[in-house]
Amino acid sequence: MAQLTSPLETAPIDPEMAADIAKFEEMLAGYFAGRVPEDVFRVFRLNNGIYGQRQGGTSQMVRVKVPYGAMTADQLDGLADLVVDHSRGWGHITTRQNIQFHFVELAETPEVMRRLASVGLTTREACGDTVRNVQGCHLAGACPFEVLDISPWAEAAYRHFVRNPISQRLPRKFKINFSGCDTDCGQAMFNDVGVIATSRTHPDGSVEQGFRVYIAGGLGTTPFPALALEDFTSREDLLPTIESVLRVFDQTGNRDNKLRARLKWVVDQLGIDEVRRRVVATRKFLPASATWPGGVPEVVAEWGDDPAGVAAGVTPTQIGQGVPVSLGARAPFDRWAEANVVRGAANGTVSAYAWCELGDVTADQFRAMAAIVREFDADVRVTNRQNFVIRDLTEDQLAPLFQRLVDAGMAKPGAELLRDVVACPGADTCNLAVTQSRGLAKAIGDALEAEGLAEVGGLRINISGCTNSCGQHHASDIGFFGAERRAHGQSAPGYQMLLGGYVGQEQIHFGQKALRLPAKNAPQAAVRVVRRFVDERHAGEKFPTWLERSGGAKEVAIGLKDLDQFPLPDESPDFYVDFDETGPYSAEIGESECAT
């Protein structure tokens, strides 16, 4: 097939992407003409990353896959133009390292896809019952703690499964995640397949680097921890192992009930031992399959997967794993460098986080990031806490970088820590959300700023607008999910507060329910918990340890009981209006299109 070019771009488009776009245009024309039924087009549309919004009509959300978060300057510039020409002037980084933007007219989506393809980006299988965006630790290749650089492995998995016939009509979505060490910044422990680099020592004393594969994790309304498939998976066996897990899921997943269709429910039904047996048996005979990749993937051999290593004489620093940020009067650059810079890689480079409030990125900020990548000859990735991390920097570049970020409004200290409240899109655009989670996230952030707590380290806050955990509320120190409340005969926005969620060191602990709250009292509840943690923690103590020492979620909730009260509507009418809304609260739920 001849390469297709966009009328607005001069770069050639990959033939496979061009074929995707041509097929989408054909199906879209058939849908508009009435030849393609609504339900058929809906499945096709989702498999191509085009997702309906609660506003209905022809407004669509476009989700762009960013495998393991890696982006180029041209891609950032391309997104800047797209969000101006086809959306609201800004895009949104998701907790799964996608970038999405809303209110795109359905008729314009082929042109959007064409412009994305011109910079090497695709929406293919970003939604639907497919293998979703392959995630990876955003510090891979720059982390002083990693066992292997998982970047080429995540790239290999992305290349192998995108457009692969075995992954187009699965029982439900299938999520893959890579981490380079057991710190698990990639959050492998709540994915269908979570891969963590590790090593084993043989009897002769030689050390082999490989992986530990975890399967059947998930969040949602019923969270499941991922379980180890086997003690050690060799580099040669990794991709065949992932494909075998996918094949077992395709054969055994529940196709009659989407609410119980994920791999975690297969384990619930068959038991982990039987699932392990089937995966290993499938892998043994996988050489007979035409899709078996065989051995170490070519891209791994080409790129190499050696770890970054630890610099001699340097104590590595790593953001987001309970490192406390000291409070006090310091210069803005010093505060930023302490909270946002990662050091310790053997090659002497450093990495720095750029803060994206609520995960949102304006067109000007996309362009600013593109300019930074070019000016500093740096590498950039998006993180699963909805920020950018700029890598391959030198120490003398940090000061000018800080000024560029100040100019772009992306230089607040504490990206990836407490100030950085994570939220799903919520009732702004999602059919399933019952609350404005983004509005609550901003309110909590503002309350923490007002109390001088925004730069406290060692805990994280995540918010979902419903029980489905797109905001990953189960896995954060302080979590909230939206729920409709009834008070004094009226509907009102509310939240369930959870405490004690944690993922890391090849473990996951889901947050425990503390108490229910009116939405307007949730910021005060968060501030009280943070303030108590700051006042009571021992030196270096992490939130889960403090919480256990304090009696657990229910015991801490006793001190918040006064906040679970709705005033009379006439006394405080704002309690019956959600954040970012002007009219009375109403919980409106539409049909799910598998939101995350």
Q: In this predicted structure, what is the pLDDT of residue 293?
A: 83
- 10 lies in some domain: no
Per-residue pLDDT, averaged over 164-171, amounts to 96
Per-residue pLDDT, averaged over 527-549, amounts to 95
Q: In this predicted structure, what is the pLDDT of residue 594?
A: 55
pLDDT digits (tens, 9 = 90+) for 482-517: 999 999 999 999 999 999 999 999 999 999 999 999
Statement: residue 313 has pLDDT above 90: no
Statement: residue 7 has pLDDT above 80: no
pLDDT digits (tens, 9 = 90+) for 181-229: 999 999 999 999 999 999 999 999 999 999 999 999 999 999 999 999 9
Cα angle 374, 178, 342; round to 5: 50
Tell which residue, 432, 366, 416, has the closest CA to residue 138: 416
pLDDT band at 5 (very low <50, low <70, confident <90, very high): very low
For residues 483 and 481, give the distance between their C-alpha atoms in angstroms, rounded to a whole number.
7
Tell which residue, 566, 578, 581, 427, has the closest CA to residue 489: 566
pLDDT digits (tens, 9 = 90+) for 458-477: 889 999 999 999 999 999 99
Can you give the residue range of the structural domain that contains 80?
15-117
- 456 lies in some domain: yes
Per-residue pLDDT, averaged over 518-535, amounts to 98
For residues 197 and 192, give the distance between their C-alpha atoms in angstroms, rounded to a whole number.
17
Same domain, residue pair 282 and 172? yes
Same domain, residue pair 298 and 337? no
Give the CATH number for residue 21.
3.90.480.20
pLDDT band at 59 (very low <50, low <70, confident <90, very high): very high
Question: Mean pLDDT, the chain, as a whole number?
Answer: 93
Statement: residue 3 has pLDDT above 60: no
- Within 13 Å, how many C-alpha atoms sit on residue 167's CB side? 26
Q: In this predicted structure, what is the pLDDT of residue 329?
A: 52
For residues 76 and 92, give the distance between their C-alpha atoms in angstroms, rounded to a whole number.
13
- 127 lies in some domain: no
- 308 lies in some domain: no
pLDDT digits (tens, 9 = 90+) for 357-370: 999 999 999 999 99
Q: In this predicted structure, what is the pLDDT of residue 319?
A: 57
Q: In this predicted structure, what is the pLDDT of residue 4?
A: 40
pLDDT digits (tens, 9 = 90+) for 29-43: 999 999 999 999 999
Same domain, residue pair 153 and 299? yes
Same domain, residue pair 498 and 400? no
Q: Which range has the worst mean pLDDT, 301-315, 320-334, 436-450, 538-552? A: 320-334
Per-residue pLDDT, averaged over 522-539, amounts to 96
Q: In this predicted structure, what is the pLDDT of residue 417?
A: 75
Same domain, residue pair 262 and 214? yes
pLDDT band at 320 (very low <50, low <70, confident <90, very high): very low
Same domain, residue pair 446 and 473? yes
Same domain, residue pair 401 and 345? yes
- How many percent of the chain have pLDDT more than 90? 84
Same domain, residue pair 156 and 215? yes
- 218 lies in some domain: yes
Q: In this predicted structure, what is the pLDDT of residue 8?
A: 42
Domain boundary among 408, 439, 455: 408
What is the longest distance spanned by two Cα atoms in the chain? 78
Same domain, residue pair 395 and 446? no
Statement: residue 593 has pLDDT above 80: no
Same domain, residue pair 173 and 242? yes
Same domain, residue pair 433 and 567? yes
Cα angle 425, 150, 596; round to 5: 20
* Domain total of the chain: 4
pLDDT band at 588 (very low <50, low <70, confident <90, very high): confident
Which phi and psi angles does 48 have, rounded to 5°? -105, 20
Query: 498 is written with which tokens?
Result: 């959870």
pLDDT digits (tens, 9 = 90+) for 113-134: 999 999 999 999 999 999 999 9
- 205 lies in some domain: yes
- 75-111 in b/e form (b: 16+ CB < 10 A) is bbbbbbbbbeebbeebbbbbbbbbbbbbebebeebbb
Give the CATH number for residue 164.
3.30.413.10
Statement: residue 419 has pLDDT above 50: yes
Confirm if 101 and 80 have CB atoms less than 8 A apart: no
pLDDT band at 63 (very low <50, low <70, confident <90, very high): very high
Question: Given the structure tokens 């009292």, which residue do they identify?
Answer: 521
Q: In this predicted structure, what is the pLDDT of residue 55?
A: 79
Per-residue pLDDT, averaged over 232-261, amounts to 97
Statement: residue 326 has pLDDT above 80: no
Same domain, residue pair 75 and 39? yes
Q: In this predicted structure, what is the pLDDT of residue 2?
A: 36
Statement: residue 325 has pLDDT above 70: no
For residues 514 and 499, give the distance between their C-alpha atoms in angstroms, rounded to a whole number.
6
Per-residue pLDDT, averaged over 247-263, amounts to 96
Domain boundary among 385, 408, 431: 408
Question: Given the structure tokens 């923490």, which residue do they identify?
Answer: 448
Q: In this predicted structure, what is the pLDDT of residue 318?
A: 61
Domain boundary among 383, 408, 433: 408
Q: In this predicted structure, what is the pLDDT of residue 431?
A: 86
Q: In this predicted structure, what is the pLDDT of residue 111?
A: 98
